[in-house]
Structure 1
Amino acid sequence: MLTGKVAIITGAGTGIGKEVAKLFGKNHASVVLNYRSSEKQANEVKEEIEKMGSKAITVKADISNYDDCKNLVQTTVKEFGHVDILINNSGMGLTRDTILDITNEEYHRLMTINVDGTYYMTTLVLEQMEKQKTGGSIVSISSSAVAQPSSGNGVYAMSKAAIELLMRSVAQNHGEHGIRCNIVAPGPTETNMVNEYFSEEKRKRVTKEIPLRRFGDPKETAQAVLFFASDMSSYVTGQKIHVDGGRTIR
């Protein structure tokens, strides 16, 4: 489904990013695995993709740093000649009892990674895609928290809402160049980040709020990302899929 395509995936060493990378490799994309600190994990994913017969490279970059983002895109173009897909997956979670428990330092770090990083990568890849004149697909990972915010996750939800608005704006303004932008919003998913913020008590309570009565698997989110990245969604842009077991029905 992705033969001949080159995809950059941020935060590709663990969690959802890891499963997206493996699924893309299985579908014959050339994959650029971005990581900030998970070098060992990123290299393991690279080896898995290469065993599938696809090409992959790893690039260390902190997406909250513009120069790192620029180097990530430039390295991709130098290695593969073009960029067809960007998956804005890298992000930071933040949950407290109330918004008053969040420090200024935590707030600024969250916004720098989630919002600034997504903005940097999106604009840099957009510029490259427009030079290529071959279209492209940008998919950003949001969260069901946008539809179901609480006081404790309000700042996190705000950062993801900003990402969604950016994607819709880019979809509106760059569709004439064949560039599509869409959003995948997972609910509670079995990742290290989610496990860090969910106590056993909270996990049981939240599970009861999900019609399918379980947390999601990162592989299930990856399937939705593949849909948006591939030609299966060639006439879809500016849209969002919730992968949340039905939690946002309410």
Structure 2
Amino acid sequence: MRLQGKVAVATGVCGGIGLSIVRKLVNEGARVVAVDLSQESLDKLQKDYGDEVVTVAADVTRYDQVEAMIQKAVDHFGQVDILINNAGIASPKPLLEHDPDKDFDGITAVNQKGVYHGILAAGKAMKKQGRGGVIINTSSVYGTMASELSFTYNVSKAAVDMMTKCAALEYGPQKIRVCAVAPGRVDTPMLHQYKDIGLWDHIKREQMRNEFTQPEEIADVIAFLASDEANCINGTTVSAGDGFESFKYPLLPG
């Protein structure tokens, strides 16, 4: 088990990727502080685990609450070695139909400000411990690609990529690695919003292998990045898009 003896904090744990992250971390030997906005959802998650997991309801847009979730790891498990900034939201909508408060400020607060809060709070705690650590941010292939219906989401993930680079540079002397994973289209409730607007079959055909990535596959990548096996990966965003960035929608049937 590659994470034996490690303590991880993970946000956004009650969604598709988040649930898989918690399961993978525990299976790899880590003890986990599982964070989400809904205590009710966290209570359901807690039933699946024993002493390896403790849950915290927190709003990542509030820095005091992010500090508290990091402190929970220290108080309950005695340390914090890994932070996974996974909380994120999206709402497909054409740019010209945006309500700035909801469709820019709201998404930016979670996807961008929330990651910043995590990087800052975890960095301070890890520096105080004096033995380094790993911070992993959930980005997206859309951090480097333009697409319709997802203006703010793309912008926020581009910011995550840059925050990853800048934090890695500043935290390097503290032996704290900062990296990110960029999922492509993953079969999660967030992606299922495209069913509601009639684009599900279309976006599935756009995949290189005509199938969506599964949440467990992203969790596998995150567990690797959190491990000592990934010690040379720092300040970079690792693509987990199944080649999505590398080709255009095929003209010929597969």
The interval holding the TM-score normalised by the smaller chain is: over 0.9
Distance in 1, Cα, partners of 2:40 & 2:215:
19
1:89-113 deviations in whole A, cap 9, x for unaligned?
A: 00111221x2121111111111111
- 1:104 is matched with 100
Q: Distance in 2 between matches of 1:133 and 1:41?
A: 34
Matched, 1:48 2:48: yes
Residue identity opposite 2:101 in structure 1: E
Look up the equivalent residue of 2:71 and give its one-letter code.
Answer: Q
Q: What is the count of residue pairs matched by the alignment?
A: 245
Output the CA distance in 2 between the equivalents of 1:203 and 1:246. Answer: 19
Residue-by-residue CA offset, 1:47-67 (whole Å, 9 max, x unaligned): 3332xxx61100010111112
User: Aligned residue for 1:148?
Assistant: 145
5 Å-filtered alignment, 1:181-200, equals 181-199=178-196
TM-score by length of 1: 0.93
Q: Which amino acid aligns with 1:16?
A: I
* Cα drift, residue 245 of structure 1: 2.1
Report the Cα distance in structure 1 between the residues aligned to 2:190 and 2:183, rounded to whole angstroms: 13
| 2-structure distance, mates of 1:122, 1:191 | 25
Deviation at 1:199, TM superposition (A): 4.0
1:181 is displaced (CA, Å) by: 0.8
Give the whole-Å Cα distance in 1 for the aligned partners of 2:143 and 2:61. 21
Structure 2: give runs of 5+ residues left out of the alignment: 248-254
- Alignment correspondent of 2:20: 19
**Counterpart pick for 2:89 among 70, 88, 92:** 92
Alignment of 1:169-180 (within 5 A): 169-180=166-177
Q: Which amino acid aligns with 2:19?
A: K
Match of 2:111 among 110, 114, 117: 114
Match of 1:67 in 2: 64
The answer to whether the Cα contact below 8 Å between 1:214 and 1:245 also exists between their aligned partners in 2 is: no
Conserved 8 A contact 2:36-2:59: yes
Q: Distance in 2 between matches of 1:235 and 1:188?
A: 27
One-letter code of the match for 2:135?
I
CA distance in 1, matches of 2:198, 2:109: 31
Aligned to 2:208: 211
Measure the CA separation in 1 of the matches of 2:143 and 2:195: 18
TM-score norm. by structure 2 comes to 0.92
